[in-house]
Amino acid sequence: MTTQVLEAINRQIAAEFGASFSYLAMAAWCEHHKFMGAGRWLRLQSAEERGHALKLFDFVLARNHQARLGGIEEPKSDFGSVVEVFERALAQEQEVSKQIDALYELAFREKVFAAMAELQWFITEQVEEEKSVREIVAKFHMVQHDSAALLDLDRELGGRGPAQAGTPA
């Protein structure tokens, strides 16, 4: 593995932990505002992002390098509405997709084939993650002025199983 690719993967580990932290902050907002189902969904998503971070962490170690943890930013924790929470989640996923693409491009340029193979999983995962969050945003837009439907949607989100949006292999 080249130094550049190693450093970029280490930065991505921090970015995945950052996403985990951010989802947990979103869960806190939702639960504080009594959207308990959304809170549960976001907690599971937070755990999933931690799984992504650890998957890259394990990859770096498996390639006989030291995984290094960088700092993570304080996540946004104030939102105007539950819809805004999920809009923010979608923007975050789109940003991560760009990061993964850039990382894949770097691994390709540097001919680090093992990293390319590892990153394939993340490219596929991002397609799934964007899709599931985009669907939730669309549903919130449909029901946002109907409190009974909003409560139903919150209940539906609370029924999420741990592996719904994909877990690391």
Residues that bind Fe ion (CB under 5 A): 16, 49, 52, 129
3-state secondary structure at position 34: coil
Least distance from Fe ion to the Cβ atom of residue 19, Å? 5
> Judged by CB, which is closer to Fe ion: 6, or 133?
133
DSSP annotation of 159: T
> Judged by CB, which is closer to Fe ion: 91, or 142?
91
Q: Is the sign of the CA dihedral 68, 66, 44, 15 positive or negative? A: positive
**Residue 129: C-alpha distances to residues 52, 55, 78 (Å):** 12, 16, 23
> Judged by CB, which is closer to Fe ion: 9, or 150?
9
> Judged by CB, which is closer to Fe ion: 129, or 154?
129
Least distance from Fe ion to the Cβ atom of residue 146, Å? 29
Least distance from Fe ion to the Cβ atom of residue 25, Å? 14
Least distance from Fe ion to the Cβ atom of residue 96, Å? 5
- 32 CB contacts (<8 Å, ≥6 apart)? none
CA atoms within 13 A on the CB side of 162: 4
With CB atoms as reference, the residue minimizing the distance to Fe ion is 52
Least distance from Fe ion to the Cβ atom of residue 147, Å? 29
Q: What gap in Å lies between CA 13 and CA 68, rounded to an integer?
A: 8
> Judged by CB, which is closer to Fe ion: 57, or 150?
57
Which stretch of DSSP H or E encloses residue 45? helix 36-62
138 alpha carbon, distance to own chain's centre: 18
